[in-house]
Amino acid sequence: MKQAGSILIVDDNRDILVAVKLMLKQHYQKVLTTNNPFDIIKILVDEKIEVILLDMNFDRDAISGKEGFYWLKKIIAQDPAVVVVFMTAYGDVKIAVDAIKAGAADFITKPWKNEQLLGAIAAAFSHAKDKQQIGQLTRRTQGLNQAISDQKFKLLGQSATMQKVFETIEKAAQTDANILITGESGTGKELVAHAVHLASKRSHQAMISLDMGSVSQSLFESELFGHKKGAFTDAKNDRVGHFELAHDGSLFLDELSNLPLSQQAKLLATLQNRKITPVGGTNVIDIDIRLICATNENLQQAVSEGRFRQDLLYRINTIEIRLPPLRERQDDIPLLVQYYLEHFCQKYKRQLTITPNDMAALISYKWPGNVRELAHAIERAVILSDDVLDISSITNFSTIAQISTPFDDISSEISNNEQSNTFNFDTFNLETLEQRAVRAALKHHQGNVSKAAKALGLTRGAMYRRLEKYDL
């Protein structure tokens, strides 16, 4: 049975072309020939060629092989995935070595033994397959990086605090130092991570992200280090872990404060040794990554409370980048509003402007959900507005003051009004009241999802479901 594959034979001796073609077409589906090397580039354009069997000497020079090297260079420039096997009647060790150095896969002397030639061609096709897979992987990585840059919003800011953030990103990106990004939920910590990666020397490789809050303890090692088939009940195939995926690139670990102490020790050991072993495997794999972590918790306080290892904190925060909440950079709100307005108008094919009064209202709001909340608010307003952006079209935006009241103030208001018998709810709708409670909890705990969930008597997962439900 013939093997899939296409090969081009180039030789100025027509008898050799006929003989080689007769032999190779018994084994491969497509065998082309030419006695003119000037046809090579056109054939590569018109046909998908995987292997070229190329004579080293044509009419210009009978023995030096210079013509072969010339055409080898042309072939590689046209299609680097093509594998070239040289052949010549003048065998010479130095020429063979030079041929391999120049990019040829093998070197065959005339006359040859059929078994020798078939073996060289088979090895060339195997090499061609490997080059194709590497090319696909490279394209996938480039595509991944492009997708990451295209899908993410821009990190914007003109305030003094954001200018300091940008300066730190620029300086930190030029090194391989581990970076810890801190800030409330919704401030854009992942955008900072991407900005660091794209400005670094590793930008040609992927940035692999993992939300540590979503990783169960039983799957921690599998997620980070990978596993071998059969390592545990559900391990039906080999799996590459995030550390190995991020090799030569960046690894972004979000919500790091959620990592249990036992797993913190394993992470620390990996960062110290720069080696991993997949679950169920025996081979040690060297890893070279740039580590970027993010958290909305105070890790120093977590260390003092015994919830986070101090040695791990030292390891991950060589450089700390604090991202300020939106209420601390109100000068940036007009810039952000305009950016998201243009973005969502383009997305939904709308043409809207915003009035000065509405812009002033957006600037005065404290935005407990930070930039994420602002982006969602603008998107909803773009969808619901007519000709001019109407922020009153945003659900409950007109009751911002009520929604963002901290629990202590709500309790005080209820207590005071109960004494005077004048307290009234503007709604008894449970869903609306729940949404307000969730917003209030986030406000009170400065965007810390874990603490807000605890205050509401919810699990972290239940809290995230409500954040998604109410688009917070």
Per residue in 208-218, pLDDT tens? 888 887 787 77
CA 220 from chain centre, in angstroms, equals: 20
Query: Do 428 and 472 share a domain, yes or no?
Result: yes
Answer for the pair 132, 81: CB distance below 8 angstroms, yes or no: yes
Please check whether residue 143 lies inside any domain of the structure: no
Please check whether residue 268 lies inside any domain of the structure: yes
Answer for the pair 434, 467: CB distance below 8 angstroms, yes or no: no
* Residues near 212 by beta carbon (within 8 Å), at least 6 away in sequence: 253, 254, 255, 256, 258, 259
Query: Do 412 and 346 share a domain, yes or no?
Result: no
Instruction: Note down the domain range covering 358.
Output: 328-394
The 3-state DSSP class for residue 307 equals coil
Pick the last residue of a domain from 304, 324, 344. 324
Is residue 140's pLDDT more than 60? Answer: no
Query: Do 42 and 123 share a domain, yes or no?
Result: yes
Please check whether residue 146 lies inside any domain of the structure: no
**pLDDT per residue as tens digits for the range 31-63:** 999 988 899 999 988 888 999 998 887 654 455
* 83-97: average pLDDT: 73
d(CA 429, CA 230): 52
Please check whether residue 155 lies inside any domain of the structure: no
> For residue 205, what is the DSSP state?
S
The 3-state DSSP class for residue 294 equals strand
pLDDT of residue 152: 57
Give how many domains the chain has, as a whole number.
4
Burial class (CB in 10 A: 0-12, 13-18, 19+), 369: buried
Is residue 148's pLDDT more than 70? Answer: no
Please check whether residue 148 lies inside any domain of the structure: no
pLDDT of residue 144: 47
Query: Do 316 and 168 share a domain, yes or no?
Result: yes
Query: Do 314 and 337 share a domain, yes or no?
Result: no
Please check whether residue 340 lies inside any domain of the structure: yes
Query: Do 286 and 214 share a domain, yes or no?
Result: yes
Query: Do 283 and 350 share a domain, yes or no?
Result: no
Query: Do 417 and 388 share a domain, yes or no?
Result: no
Pick the last residue of a domain from 293, 324, 355. 324
Q: What's the pTM?
A: 0.56
d(CA 322, CA 329): 13
Query: Do 332 and 296 share a domain, yes or no?
Result: no
CATH of the domain at 461: 1.10.10.60
Query: Do 74 and 168 share a domain, yes or no?
Result: no
